[in-house]
């Protein structure tokens, strides 16, 4: 099978992913093998490739927003059948027995494993995963449309829950990439007014076209205080401004897996009046199932730009430079 593999961590501008032919993986007990048809590119992939996240397993095939068709079953696997369309997300395994797992907080499991980080991911024509960590993909989505839901959608959905947005409340989104444009659709569907802060004029225009009540840059004045905010930008310097932008009792959720240093906070200006600062770590499988159900009901329509697998480096360069509207997705050749 064809794959894009990372040998050593390096800036994406050096094009560190290398095209390689690998043997198709065989599914182990309780696993399924997926013939990959699409895989989203994600900022977390950049963090893995460029070394913001410490290397866990090199050489590595990145990618954790994987959509495809089951084509082989490991011993004892019975949840899916060959031909079923399924997805693989970032979280791919937990111990299932620790206090966090048994309390419904498996995203905090100390023995968790992640796709495209601990194990090979979806920048390839085939991938394997435990069947209980695979997601059935709802009808109505093309494969490329479904791929961003498996991380951008799921993490955005969990961040929205962590943001504790009250009914009818105003939501501020800081950064307008793949996750934010999914959250905007959910929030608008639920009747919320949404403000968007993002640097690129093109991203501001897209946010307005998608229903944002206001969109502007970091130095622009917001039309009013928000009840909750979600920071998608991996820039710690945006956090104090987000805290200032929410009113008393407001919550700011930080949705990234990596963020630059947060500047010192002024207690009265940023935290007083019972404001809350929440981080978001990965997701539970329950989050994933809920998001896919919501996505089918609305329905969410991710904005995608398609790239062939051979152009994985170029897709990630476009993501890093802010040239993607919505989500970039790698699409595989037809078998």
* pLDDT string in tens for the chain (335-residue length): 999 999 999 999 999 999 999 999 999 999 999 999 999 999 999 999 999 999 999 999 999 999 999 999 999 999 999 999 999 999 999 999 999 999 999 999 999 999 999 999 999 999 999 999 999 999 989 999 999 999 999 999 999 999 999 999 999 999 999 999 999 999 999 999 999 999 989 999 999 999 999 999 999 999 999 999 999 999 999 999 999 999 999 999 999 999 999 999 999 999 999 999 999 999 999 999 999 999 999 999 899 999 999 999 999 999 999 899 889 999 997 54
Token pair 């494969």 is found at 143
SS (H, E, C) 111-166: CCEEECCCECCCCECEEEEEHHHEEECCCCCCHHHHHHHHCHHHHHHHHHHHCCCC
Domains and CATH numbers, the chain: 2-150+282-331 (3.90.180.10), 154-279 (3.40.50.720)
pLDDT at position 326: 86
Do 49 and 12 touch, CB atoms closer than 8 A? yes
CA distance 38 to 150: 11
pLDDT at position 335: 43
pLDDT at position 238: 97
Cis peptide before 59, with omega less than 30 degrees from 0?
Answer: yes
Residues near 103 by Cβ (< 8 Å), separated by ≥ 6? none
Pinpoint the alpha helices (H) of the chain: 43-50, 99-102, 143-146, 152-162, 178-189, 201-209, 239-245, 285-297, 312-320
């Amino acid at each position: 099978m064809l794959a894009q593999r990372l040998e050593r961590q390096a800036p994406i501008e050096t094009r560190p992913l290398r095209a390689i032919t690998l043997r198709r993986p065989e599914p182990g007990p309780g696993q399924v093998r997926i013939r990959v048809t699409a895989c989203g590119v994600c900022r977390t992939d950049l963090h893995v490739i460029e070394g913001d996240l410490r290397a866990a397993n090199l050489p590595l095939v990145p990618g954790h927003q994987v959509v495809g068709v089951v084509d082989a079953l490991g011993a004892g696997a019975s949840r899916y059948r060959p031909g079923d369309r399924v997805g693989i997300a970032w979280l791919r395994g937990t111990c299932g027995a620790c206090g966090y797992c048994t309390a419904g907080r498996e995203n905090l499991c100390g023995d968790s494993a992640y796709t495209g980080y601990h194990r090979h991911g979806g920048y390839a024509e085939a991938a394997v995963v435990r069947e209980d960590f695979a997601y059935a993909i709802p009808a109505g989505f093309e494969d490329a449309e479904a791929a961003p839901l498996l991380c951008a959608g799921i993490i955005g959905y969990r961040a929205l829950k962590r943001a504790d947005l009250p009914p009818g409340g105003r939501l501020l989104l800081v950064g307008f990439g793949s996750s934010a444009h999914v959250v905007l659709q959910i929030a608008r569907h639920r009747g919320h007014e949404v403000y968007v802060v993002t640097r690129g004029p093109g991203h501001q225009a897209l946010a307005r076209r998608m229903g944002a009540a206001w969109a502007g840059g970091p130095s622009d004045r917001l039309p009013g205080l928000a009840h909750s905010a979600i920071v998608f930008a991996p820039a710690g310097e945006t956090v104090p401004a987000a805290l200032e932008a929410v009113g008393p009792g407001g919550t700011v959720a930080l949705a990234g897996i990596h963020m630059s240093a947060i500047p010192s906070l002024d207690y009265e200006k940023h935290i007083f009046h019972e404001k809350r600062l929440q981080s978001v770590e990965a997701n539970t499988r329950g989050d994933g199932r809920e998001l896919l159900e919501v996505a089918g009901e609305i329905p969410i329509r991710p904005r995608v730009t398609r790239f062939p697998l051979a152009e994985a480096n170029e897709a990630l360069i476009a993501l890093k430079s802010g040239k993607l509207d919505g989500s970039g997705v790698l699409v595989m050749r037809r078998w």
